[in-house]
Amino acid sequence: MVERAGGGLSVVLADGQSSGKGAKRISNLVVRKVIGLLAEGVRDGAAARAASDYLYHERRGKVLATLNILSIDLGTQTLVTTRNNPSPVLLAQGQEITTLAEASSPIGIYRNTRPVIHEAELRPGLCVMMFTDGLEHAGDRKGQSLPVNELFKSLLAGHAPAQEMADQFMTQALDLDDGRLVDDVSVVVLQVSDHTGDLVRRMHVRLPLGPIAAP
């Protein structure tokens, strides 16, 4: 996540090919590139194309990564969704859901890969959910799958806050894979709600460390 040069925030989600440390390195490389450009004021579409060229050049067209950028752009007062990812992004305005699923290619394997961009007016009631394709693969081993759209719809109907929505998707994905996911899964939920409270910005992060050496 990065603060935009012109005001607002962007969440950058990349998923490098395969899994483990190699994939993590690719994901980090792509995210770092995009975040650096956004922080300097480069527009989302140009940042995605730059990341694609960079990965293509760096890995000679042999490694692909999916890339999503979700931006609150205070300059234009819009919510901008940028996809280089076959997986859809779900966008709700109130209870009305739009599936952003226009054909879109991952970056890194072709020259001139262009992202698919969608803009929506920034207003209360907007809710966007994006995820890596691992979410769609949860349960594959059992021939099951997560009903992503249905769950999104029911959480919207219950007015679940963003954190609870993301938690529900993660919990159900983990359950489908008996606690050990087949593929890496990241879920991002963004909600625009009516403002209440102070003007303080807050960030809360929990990072499970696994076992720490005993004192």
> By the criterion CB under 8 A, which residues form the site for a second copy?
1, 3, 5, 8-9, 28, 32, 36, 39-40, 72, 74, 77, 121-124, 162-163, 166-167, 170, 174, 192, 195, 197-213, 215
Question: Dihedral of CA 72/73/78/79: which sign?
Answer: negative
Closest distance to a second copy from the beta carbon of 135 (Å): 13
- Quick one: 37 or 156, whose CB is closer to a second copy? 37
- Quick one: 157 or 209, whose CB is closer to a second copy? 209
Closest distance to a second copy from the beta carbon of 124 (Å): 7
What does the CA dihedral 8, 13, 14, 18 come to, rounded to 10 degrees?
Answer: 170
**Amino acid at position 194, single letter:** D
- Quick one: 20 or 215, whose CB is closer to a second copy? 215
Other residues' Cβ atoms within 10 Å of the Cβ of residue 52 = 27
In order of 1, 125, 190, 195, the CA distances from 200 in angstroms are 18, 21, 18, 12
Strand, coil or helix: what is 56?
helix
- Quick one: 109 or 155, whose CB is closer to a second copy? 155
Closest distance to a second copy from the beta carbon of 215 (Å): 5
Contacting residues for 179 by C-beta, under 8 A, at least 6 apart:
none
Closest distance to a second copy from the beta carbon of 2 (Å): 9
